[in-house]
Amino acid sequence: MDWSAYLSRQLSERRDSSLWRQRQVNQQSDGRFLYTTEGKYLNFSSNDYLGLSANPAVISAWQRGAEQYGVGSGGSGHITGYTNAHQQLEQQLADWLGYPKALLFISGYSANQGVIAALMTKADRIIADRLSHASLLEAAMHSSAQLRRFRHNQPASLADLLANPCVGKTLVVTEGVFSMDGDCAPLADIYQQTRVSGSWLMVDDAHGIGVCGEQGRGSCWQQKVKPEILVVTFGKAFGLSGAAVLCDEQTAEYLIQYARHLIYSTSMPPAQAQAISEAIRQIQSGDELRQRLQQNIDDFRRQVQKLPFNLTDSTTAIQPLIMSDNELSVSLSQYLQQKGIWVKAIRPPTVPPGSARLRITLTASHTQQDIDILTEALYEFCS
């Protein structure tokens, strides 16, 4: 079979399976609204939970950084791309989250891939929550380590797997707040299991950092857990992009020597590092924003109780409405868009078969009127 025939067949199968994806160009987003060539939409698909992407202080910090450093880093952090701005941000993160060291990565995906690829060998074992993010599971599958999955948020299932001996090291992997269901991992119980077995725990807290815990320190802080490896990302509550790995000094030095995703990637622009630093300050003093977000979450959940969709137990900004039918999820998304509301359908393989959904995300920027408009449209569609 030639290349063209292969690609044509694969694309045809995807198009016929109600799983076809399309990118759409938008002109601007401020956390609350999304602006496209077709109009202005209430945005309920953003991960900008605190609205910091449009925060004047964060924007100003980036502008000052660009004036000082230019718009790019110019190279890998191992060559010329590690500046005072990067070093100061790493120290700020370590101090804030209570770790000896922090290492900056260009993205959360890169951080997860880099850590697992560097640490795990053929003799080792990875035990992951079966609903962990694709970046974690893909890294585990591509590593030479053995991969086992425990039932979602079930420490007893993890304990059963840990009871089987392993020749090498064991790394337990989970998210703090799960990106598709919005539920929180029982981190205290999971951490206890890892301690008893002599394993290490790696937590990706992309959707918990900034919104959970004292000063927004995240899910682990909230549950009084300090995993050996904590991954935080800046593309959600921080309103920016990039990621960091928090760990002890020995592990940090090992990753500096062996993590290929760190060694061979151009580092984030120094101006971006300065903007992230300011976002941390906004998060630390952001109790009012977190309270507003929580009120929006409570109001939304109260209003949608009678909808004929499955609502998860999420108490976070991620509020999925789950339906079994892929086409129904797309139809509902399109209906909302006609009403001036932007919510995208999430379908397999991003989520398990039979669990297509609208992944509704709430932010501190939304008003009570915004939530009323969304819920009224949802009930209209179902009537």
List 207, 296, 314, 370, catalytic entry: 207
To the query of whether residue 236 is one of the catalytic residues in this protein, the response is: yes
- Angle (deg, nearest 10), helices 108-119 and 249-258: 90
Contacts of 370 (CB under 8 A, 6+ apart): 32, 42
To the query of whether residue 207 is one of the catalytic residues in this protein, the response is yes
From 342, 372, 333, 337, select the one nearest 43 (Cα to Cα).
342
Of 203, 218, 184, which Cα lies nearest the Cα of 96? Answer: 218
Catalytic residue among 124, 175, 228, 278: 175
133 annotated as belonging to a binding site for a ligand? yes
Q: Per the annotation, does 207 bind a ligand?
A: yes
User: Distance of CA 220 to CAs 191, 211, 228, Å?
Assistant: 10, 12, 11
175 is catalytic: yes
Active site residue 133: yes
* Cα distances (angstroms) measured from residue 52 to each of 27, 106, 290, 366: 18, 19, 12, 13
Beta strand pairing status for 357-361 and 26-29? unpaired
Catalytic-role residue among 47, 55, 143, 265: 47
Q: Which residues contact 97 (CB under 8 A, 6 or more apart)?
A: 217, 218, 221, 230, 232, 246
Catalytic residue of the set 90, 181, 183, 204: 204
State yes or no: is 296 an active-site residue. no
Q: What is the 3-state secondary structure (H, E, C) of 333-355?
A: HHHHHHCCEECCEECCCCCCCCC
Structure tokens at 276: 């992230």
User: Does residue 204 have an active-site annotation?
Assistant: yes
Task: Decide if 267 contacts 77 (C-beta within 8 A).
Answer: yes
- Whether 109 has a binding-site annotation, put simply, is yes
Q: Please confirm, yes or no, whether 224 is among the known catalytic residues.
A: no
Query: Which secondary structure element, helix H or strand E, spans residue 170, and what is its range?
Result: strand 170-175
Q: Is 179 annotated as a binding residue?
A: yes
Q: What are phi and psi of 370, to 5 degrees?
A: -60, -45
Catalytic residue among 46, 110, 132, 179: 179
Report whether 53 belongs to an annotated binding site.
no
- What are the tokens at 146? 């053995």
Residues with Cβ within 8 Å of residue 114, at least 6 apart in sequence: 105, 245, 255, 259, 260, 261, 262
Out of 86, 133, 261, 366, the active site residue is: 133
Tell me: is residue 375 an annotated ligand-binding position.
no
Q: Which residues are catalytic?
A: 47, 133, 175, 179, 204, 207, 236
Residue ranges for the known binding site are 21, 108-109, 133, 179, 207, 233, 350
Residue ranges for the known binding site for substrate are 21, 133, 350
Residue ranges for the known binding site for pyridoxal 5'-phosphate are 108-109, 179, 207, 233
